[in-house]
């Protein structure tokens, strides 16, 4: 019953999270795109219209949209309805935090920590929350230093810092939780940017308009800086969220380095998406180099297999025994490990034919990446992993 509840909680919260994230990131993409496609407006030359910085025409959903951007509103220009974009971000963060709680903090320890890892499940949760909180404080403080004035320098600094954090996470969490928490950390920075910096700046601008005083335009610039940071973080954060489905990536021995390269790729792609009509050899170069590095790093090893398949023939009985000891607690028609309602991903490792058919997937998870058994809850030994590998490399016979 409890597992059934978690299954549904997981699905519903995930659904809400994805919908909220689409809205938030959609807004972010649209407004960055608008900003980069504004053209100088004739209107700005009219008397009293110097706040106009550009205009843009669009056609969509059967109508034409005319947009003007103003740096600020003058007293008396306050429109009756002014739309804010903040709940998209808050709801993404709230649903994401809830999802983290459902998947990693409440439903057993296997997703979060290795059974023989340095931290208990509870301590790992404390470490995660602390790391995320401290990361926001550190980033926010950094934004007030001269370093933040140069986006490129800040970018390089941020890349090194995030890769270091990811490295640290891989030491204390499971490979999967390490990736996800790196993403959650960046997502939190993005949401905090909106909550603590962007919205308050916009409120101050409006308050000045209402009070009839000239608004301090640096407030708008400050908000824009944070919004630009958020924008560059979108692709890397989305990658970490989707990475959960790709054990060959998050389960790589140097997964933190892979993540660093992916971040370079994501940020470069974002750059190319918003700068129009200019080719940027440096950015294109960074995108290509990082993509190739990731592909090469994660390619299956060409080095000779760790075990010699020519050794003594592994009988299927030995494999079956390993499955029963280490896998079928979860991967059975009726799982016996608490918290697992149904065989994960529908994978039941009880019949010889399935074990043979799924051998490559089993090898990837239990031998190459060691991302199975989950958190090594069933204490699989390296010897058993080698036995499995040898059986698979010998042709996976089931008689
Ligand atoms: C404590 C529970 C648990 C144990 C024990 C466990 N697994 Fe898993 N397994 C999961 C969960 C949860 C997933 C789905 C999440 C994921 O893919 O990481 C999964 C996914 C998999 C997948 C991916 C299936 C797919 O369709 O992508 C394979 C392969 C796998 N396990 C193999 C094994 C093998 C082999 C063992 C034993 C050596 C094992 N698992 C032990 C929980 C477990």
The structural domains of the chain, with segments of one domain joined by +, span: 2-37+72-298, 316-393
Q: Is the CB of 362 under 6 A from ligand 1?
A: yes
| DSSP structure class, residue 378 | T
Residue 45 is predicted with a pLDDT of 86
Which residue's CA lies nearest to atom 42 of ligand 1? 374
- Cis before 373 (ω within 30): yes
- Alpha helices per DSSP H over the chain: 2-37, 87-100, 121-142, 151-172, 175-192, 199-211, 217-242, 247-250, 255-274, 281-298, 316-322, 352-357, 359-363, 382-393
Q: Is the CB of 377 under 6 A from ligand 1?
A: yes
State whether residue 343 is helix, strand or coil.
coil
Residue 298 is predicted with a pLDDT of 87
Q: Is the CB of 336 under 6 A from ligand 1?
A: no
Q: Is the pLDDT of residue 300 over 90?
A: no
Between 249 and 47, the more confident residue is 249
Residue 307 is predicted with a pLDDT of 60
Q: Is the CB of 327 under 6 A from ligand 1?
A: yes
State whether residue 60 is helix, strand or coil.
strand
User: Hey, which of 176, 323, 344, 361 would you mutate to test ligand 1's pocket, going by the most ligand atoms within 8 Å of its Cβ?
Assistant: 344
Bridge partners (DSSP) listed for residue 68? 55
Q: Is the CB of 355 under 6 A from ligand 1?
A: no
Location of structure tokens 């010897």 = 383
Q: What average pLDDT score do residues 362-381 get?
A: 94
Q: Is the CB of 252 under 6 A from ligand 1?
A: no
Q: What gap in Å lies between CA 34 and CA 121, rounded to an integer?
A: 45
Q: What average pLDDT score do residues 260-265 get?
A: 96
pLDDT digits (tens, 9 = 90+) for 79-95: 888 898 899 999 999 99
Q: Encoding tokens for residue 257?
A: 């380095």
Q: Is the pLDDT of residue 330 over 90?
A: yes
Q: What gap in Å lies between CA 327 and CA 320, rounded to an integer?
A: 10
Report residue 302's pLDDT band, with 50, 70 and 90 as the boundaries. low
Q: Is the CB of 363 under 6 A from ligand 1?
A: no
Q: Is the pLDDT of residue 371 over 60?
A: yes
Its sign, for the CA torsion 14, 17, 23, 27, is: negative
Which residue's CA lies nearest to atom 24 of ligand 1? 345
What's the pTM value of the predicted model, to 2 decimals?
Answer: 0.89
pLDDT digits (tens, 9 = 90+) for 163-178: 999 999 999 999 999 9
| DSSP structure class, residue 65 | E
Ligand 1 atom having least distance to the Cα of 364: 29
Its sign, for the CA torsion 173, 101, 186, 204, is: negative
Bridge partners (DSSP) listed for residue 59? 64
Between 33 and 301, the more confident residue is 33
Q: Is the pLDDT of residue 208 over 90?
A: no
Q: Which residues contact 183 (CB under 8 A, 6 or more apart)?
A: 236, 237, 239, 240, 241, 243
Residue 299 is predicted with a pLDDT of 85
To 10 degrees, the CA torsion angle through 235, 236, 240, 242? 20
Q: What average pLDDT score do residues 125-135 get?
A: 98
Q: Is the pLDDT of residue 52 over 80?
A: yes
Q: Is the CB of 374 under 6 A from ligand 1?
A: yes
Q: What average pLDDT score do residues 6-28 get?
A: 93
Location of structure tokens 């908000």 = 223
Ligand 1 centre to CA of 360 (Å) is: 13
The mean pLDDT value of the chain amounts to 91
Ligand 1 atom having least distance to the Cα of 384: 38
Q: What gap in Å lies between CA 215 and CA 194, rounded to an integer?
A: 20
pLDDT digits (tens, 9 = 90+) for 235-250: 999 999 999 899 989 9
Report residue 278's pLDDT band, with 50, 70 and 90 as the boundaries. low
Residue 305 is predicted with a pLDDT of 56
- The answer to whether the CB of 204 falls within 8 A of the CB of 218 is no
Q: Is the CB of 197 under 6 A from ligand 1?
A: no
Between 235 and 213, the more confident residue is 235
- The answer to whether the CB of 290 falls within 8 A of the CB of 264 is yes
């Amino acid at each position: 019953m409890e597992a059934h509840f978690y299954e549904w909680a997981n699905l519903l919260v995930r659904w809400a999270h994805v919908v909220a994230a689409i809205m938030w990131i959609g807004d972010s993409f649209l407004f960055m795109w608008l900003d980069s496609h504004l053209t100088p407006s004739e209107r700005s030359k009219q008397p009293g219209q110097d706040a106009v910085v550009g205009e843009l025409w669009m056609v969509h959903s059967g109508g034409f949209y005319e947009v003007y951007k103003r740096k600020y509103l003058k007293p008396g220009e306050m429109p009756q309805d002014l739309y804010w974009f903040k709940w998209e971000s808050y709801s993404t963060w709230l649903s994401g935090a809830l999802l983290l709680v459902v998947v990693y903090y409440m439903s057993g320890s296997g997703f979060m920590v290795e059974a023989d890892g340095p931290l208990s499940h509870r301590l790992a949760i404390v470490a995660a929350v602390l790391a995320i909180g401290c990361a926001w404080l550190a980033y926010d403080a950094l934004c007030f230093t001269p370093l933040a004035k140069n986006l490129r320098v800040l970018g390089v600094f941020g890349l090194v810092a995030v890769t270091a954090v990811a490295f640290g996470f891989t030491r204390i969490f499971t490979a999967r939780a390490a990736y996800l928490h790196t993403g959650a950390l960046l997502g939190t920075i993005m949401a905090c940017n909106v909550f603590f910096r962007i919205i308050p700046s916009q409120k101050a601008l409006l308050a000045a308009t209402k009070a009839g005083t000239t608004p301090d335009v640096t407030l708008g610039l400050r908000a824009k800086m944070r919004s630009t940071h958020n924008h560059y973080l979108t692709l890397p954060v989305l990658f970490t969220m989707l990475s959960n489905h790709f054990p060959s990536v998050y389960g790589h021995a140097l997964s933190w380095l892979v993540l660093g390269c992916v971040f370079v790729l994501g940020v470069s792609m974002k750059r190319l998406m918003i700068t129009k009509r200019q080719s940027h050899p440096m950015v294109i170069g960074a995108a290509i180099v990082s993509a190739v590095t990731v592909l090469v790093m994660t390619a299956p090893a060409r080095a000779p297999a760790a075990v010699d398949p020519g050794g003594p023939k592994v009988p299927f009985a030995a494999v079956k025994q390993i499955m029963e000891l280490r896998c079928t607690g979860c991967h059975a028609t009726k799982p016996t490990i608490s918290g697992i309602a149904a065989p994960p991903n529908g994978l039941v490792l009880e019949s010889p034919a399935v074990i043979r058919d799924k051998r490559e997937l089993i090898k990837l998870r239990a031998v190459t990446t060691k991302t199975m058994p989950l958190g090594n809850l069933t204490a699989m030994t390296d010897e058993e992993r080698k036995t499995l590998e040898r059986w698979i490399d010998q042709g996976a016979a089931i008689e």
